[in-house]
Amino acid sequence: MPSWVKQWLGFAACVIMRILRGLAKNKTLRYGVPMMLLIIGGSFGLREFAQIRYDAHKLHSTKIKDASFDDWKNIRGPRPWEESNTLQEQQR
């Protein structure tokens, strides 16, 4: 490799290192860019999780609409001092 190529590569490496050091000291790049990525990424993530919630709610509501309540009977749950099995059998 010719000597002028080695000198040019050394100079280019020096310039690149100076630029990287300057960027590393820049507070906007160190703190602002990661913060913006978290805010924007969190927005997209939250939208996806909310969509799952609404899809699940839509599926649940269709099951309730199709249900038949003609033969439905209200059975209360047992109190802490009552035995649950005997009380429920009496109410049925």
- What would the 3-class secondary structure string for 63-91 be? HHHHCCCCCCCCCCCCCCCCCHHHHHHHH
The identity of residue 85, as a single letter, is N
pLDDT tier, 78 (very low <50, low <70, confident <90, very high otherwise)? confident
The identity of residue 63, as a single letter, is K
Q: Report pTM.
A: 0.42
Q: Where are the domains of the chain?
A: 1-64
Contact 91, 76 (CB under 8 A): yes
Query: Can you tell me which residue has the tokens 């860019």?
Result: 33
Taking the C-alpha atoms of residue 90 and residue 78, their distance in angstroms, rounded to an integer, is 12
Instruction: Please write the tens of the pLDDT for every residue from 24-64.
Output: 888 888 888 899 999 999 999 899 989 988 888 887 766 66
